[in-house]
Amino acid sequence: MKQSIIHIALVVRDYDEAIDFYTKKLNFELIEDTYQPEQDKRWVVVSPPGSSGTTILLARASKPIQKEFIGNQVGGRVFLFLNSDDFWRDYNEMTSKGIEFVREPKEADYGTVAVFKDLYGNLWDLLELKADHPLAKRNN
């Protein structure tokens, strides 16, 4: 049996501002942007450059309760983890584009890591796993 998680939904305020942030600030690729008239919504999928794994579905909040969770989908915890093949390249580029890091870079047992906010305040880890980390080995 083989299964995989294909999308993670991220609740956003506006499709276009989210696309702009993810493609211009984080260099993600816009994989799909399809209007669905029967539901009056768009199916918007983005992915980190070079990634063949899980993608992010940018899901515009359509109900008041959904709007309450924009920027705080997991109660203030780090929500998403962006692994890099060159931490310092990406960290420097992201800071030059105005990405706010709320925890400075540090070396940990598993690799180099820093925490940043997306445009709505969700927390992300930017990390580069050490070569001997189980996930680094799995993805090679």
Sign of CA dihedral 89, 4, 24, 50: positive
Q: In the CATH hierarchy, which fold is given to the domain comprising 1-70?
A: 2,3-Dihydroxybiphenyl 1,2-Dioxygenase; domain 1 (3.10.180)
Q: In the CATH hierarchy, which fold is given to the domain comprising 72-140?
A: 2,3-Dihydroxybiphenyl 1,2-Dioxygenase; domain 1 (3.10.180)
Evaluate whether 25 touches 73 at the Cβ level (below 8 Å).
no
Which residues on adjacent β-strands are paired with residue 128? 112
Domain ranges of the chain: 1-70, 72-140
CA distance 49 to 65: 32
Nearest to 127 by CA among 55, 137, 110: 110
CATH fold match for the domains 1-70 and 72-140 = yes
Q: Is residue 53 classed as helix, strand or coil in its secondary structure?
A: coil
CA distance 8 to 111: 24
Q: Could you read off the pLDDT of 81-116 as tens digits, one per residue?
A: 999 999 999 999 999 999 999 999 999 999 999 999
Q: Could you read off the pLDDT of 15-74 as tens digits, one per residue?
A: 999 999 999 999 999 999 999 999 999 999 999 999 988 999 999 999 999 999 999 999
CA distance 111 to 86: 11
DSSP characters over 56-94: EEEEE--SHHHHTTTT-TTTTSEEEEEE-S-HHHHHHHH
Q: Is the pLDDT of residue 138 over 70?
A: no
